[in-house]
């Protein structure tokens, strides 16, 4: 006998937990299935913007009790090897969190039934019902399993075998007093260093006693060499301890518009990294993950209230909302224009632009990293109750 739910969510990261939180609040029976036990680590720098805090309605005082919450008020930007520029804001423009704590907090708060430590191995869709792992049944399935989401794999939502991924490596560790004595990174001012060929950037980011160092690139070629060169550069500049206590770990993700995956089908929605939504300029993925979860929940709740039509046609509203919010999923405008500019010109232009106070603040930080041009998305939490009998 299988357990019955209104919706099954595969993946308990920020996307899955946010969607579960909103559907549960509206009165739906929701289960999250994740292959890992929580709290679990997730490879990530752990930088969130105030828009994420607002959409998720996180009480920062409550969150900070027993968890790392590092306000970020200044930002260092530079091209690797060039002069650094510090932009000060005098107020928190972002926060540093640890993903093992943040994701666990959101998951617990969601109120969903949990099936953790359980990889999704099989899916079947028959007579309007999904059957997952031959145990769990629901008319709705939400794929929130990150870049390697099994729902994407098993339903064929990935439309090509060669997706242009961002490949990244990072390390996060708790610093000893000795490490701290050899670390010049200011906890309030994370450092961003752009690769000379502009195909990626590295970061060094101190969150309380934790140090996070990483580098991501739009090509996977020689990634480890780029990472090692970056770490050497930081060590020689005395910004990080001379020896790191852990090895780097790698992960991948898709940038918005690079290779749009199929995100809607009968009884099916794909959200977060599984849908490939990270912002193209910064690689920030948590905000698009939770915003896609909100848009998916809004679409579902609208149909749950009016007869539970979960056909592909009905759910395609999610795709429309996503395009309205993030732009056409099939256009890579920024990247195409960048490709027309010869590499040498791009390099010297970028070095000069990054040295400019105005450009660093107004474009690199405000526009590309904080997305100040886009106001936070209202999650509508508490306003979506489904009347009984709907």
Ligand X SMILES: Cc1cc2nc3c(=O)[nH]c(=O)nc-3n(C[C@H](O)[C@H](O)[C@H](O)COP(=O)(O)OP(=O)(O)OC[C@H]3O[C@@H](n4cnc5c(N)ncnc54)[C@H](O)[C@@H]3O)c2cc1C
Which positions lie near ligand X, rule CB under 6 A?
10-16, 33-36, 42-47, 119-120, 144-146, 148, 150, 168, 170, 214, 216, 251, 253, 272-274, 278, 284-287, 289
Answer yes or no: are the C-beta atoms of 233 and 241 closer than 8 Å: no
Which tokens belong to 89? 């804001």
168: Cα separation from own chain's centroid: 13
- Minimum CB distance to ligand X smaller for 205 or for 310: 205
Which tokens belong to 331? 């256009």
Answer yes or no: are the C-beta atoms of 227 and 215 closer than 8 Å: yes
- Minimum CB distance to ligand X smaller for 293 or for 354: 293
Listing DSSP states for 276-329 in one string gives --B-TTT---HHHHHHHHHHHHHHHHHHHHTT----HHHHTHHHHHHHHHH--T
Query: Considering the complex, what minimum distance in angstroms separates the CB of residue 312 from ligand X?
Result: 22
Query: Considering the complex, what minimum distance in angstroms separates the CB of residue 118 from ligand X?
Result: 7
Q: By beta-carbon distance, which residue lies closest to ligand X?
A: 285
Query: Considering the complex, what minimum distance in angstroms separates the CB of residue 345 from ligand X?
Result: 29
* DSSP-based helix, strand, coil % in the chain, nearest 5: 35, 25, 45
Torsion angle, CA of 226/227/233/238, rounded to 10 degrees? 180
- Minimum CB distance to ligand X smaller for 286 or for 304: 286
- Minimum CB distance to ligand X smaller for 18 or for 87: 18
Query: Considering the complex, what minimum distance in angstroms separates the CB of residue 286 from ligand X?
Result: 3
Query: Considering the complex, what minimum distance in angstroms separates the CB of residue 119 from ligand X?
Result: 4
The residues facing 124 across adjacent strands are: 131
Query: Considering the complex, what minimum distance in angstroms separates the CB of residue 147 from ligand X?
Result: 7
Q: What is the DSSP letter of 387?
A: P
Query: Considering the complex, what minimum distance in angstroms separates the CB of residue 358 from ligand X?
Result: 25
- Minimum CB distance to ligand X smaller for 96 or for 314: 96
Query: Considering the complex, what minimum distance in angstroms separates the CB of residue 278 from ligand X?
Result: 5
Closest by CA to 10, choosing from 21, 19, 2, is 19
Answer yes or no: are the C-beta atoms of 209 and 94 closer than 8 Å: no
Beta strands 268-270 and 30-34 are unpaired
- Minimum CB distance to ligand X smaller for 274 or for 314: 274
- Minimum CB distance to ligand X smaller for 185 or for 314: 185
Query: Considering the complex, what minimum distance in angstroms separates the CB of residue 38 from ligand X?
Result: 8
- Minimum CB distance to ligand X smaller for 249 or for 333: 249
Q: How far apart are CA 160 and CA 162, in angstroms?
A: 6
- Minimum CB distance to ligand X smaller for 139 or for 202: 202
- What lies within 8 Å, CB to CB, of 298 at 6+ separation is 321, 380, 384
Answer yes or no: are the C-beta atoms of 47 and 285 closer than 8 Å: no
């Amino acid at each position: 006998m299988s357990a019955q739910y209104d919706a099954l969510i595969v993946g308990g990261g920020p996307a899955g937990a946010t969607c579960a939180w909103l559907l549960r609040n509206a009165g739906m029976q929701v289960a999250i299935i994740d292959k890992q036990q929580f709290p679990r680590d997730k490879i990530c720098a752990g930088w969130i913007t105030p828009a994420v805090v607002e959409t998720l309605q996180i009480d920062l005082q409550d969150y900070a009790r027993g968890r790392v919450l590092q306000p970020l008020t200044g930002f260092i930007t530079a091209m690797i090897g060039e002069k650094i520029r510090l932009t000060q804001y005098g107020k928190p423009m972002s926060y540093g969190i640890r993903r093992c704590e943040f994701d666990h907090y959101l998951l617990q708060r969601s109120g969903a039934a949990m099936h953790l430590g359980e990889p999704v191995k099989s899916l079947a869709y028959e007579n309007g019902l999904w059957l997952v792992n031959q145990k769990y049944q629901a008319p709705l399935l939400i794929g929130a399993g990150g870049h390697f989401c099994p729902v994407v794999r098993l339903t064929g939502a990935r439309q090509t075998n060669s997706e242009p991924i961002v490949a990244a490596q990072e390390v996060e560790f708790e610093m000893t007093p000795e490490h701290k004595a050899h670390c010049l990174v200011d906890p309030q001012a994370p450092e961003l260093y752009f690769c000379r060929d502009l195909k990626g950037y590295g970061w060094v980011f101190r969150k309380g006693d934790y140090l996070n160092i990483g580098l991501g690139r739009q090509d996977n070629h020689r990634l480890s060499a780029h990472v090692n060169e970056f770490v050497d550069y930081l060590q020689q500049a005395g910004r990080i301890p001379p020896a790191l206590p852990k090895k780097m770990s790698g992960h991948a993700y898709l940038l918005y518009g690079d290779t749009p995956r199929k995100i809607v089908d009968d009884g099916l929605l794909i959200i977060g990294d599984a849908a490939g939504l990270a912002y193209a300029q910064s690689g920030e993925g948590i905000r698009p993950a939770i915003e896609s979860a909100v848009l998916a929940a809004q679409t579902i709740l609208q149909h749950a209230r009016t007869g539970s039509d979960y056909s592909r046609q009905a759910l395609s509203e999610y795709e429309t909302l996503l395009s309205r919010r993030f732009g056409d999923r099939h256009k890579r405008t920024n990247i195409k224009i960048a490709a027309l500019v010869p590499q040498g010109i791009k390099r010297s232009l970028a070095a000069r632009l990054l040295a400019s106070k105005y450009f660093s603040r107004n474009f690199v930080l405000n526009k590309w990293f904080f997305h100040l041009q886009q106001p936070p998305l209202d999650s509508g939490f508490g306003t979506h109750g489904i009347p009984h009998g709907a």
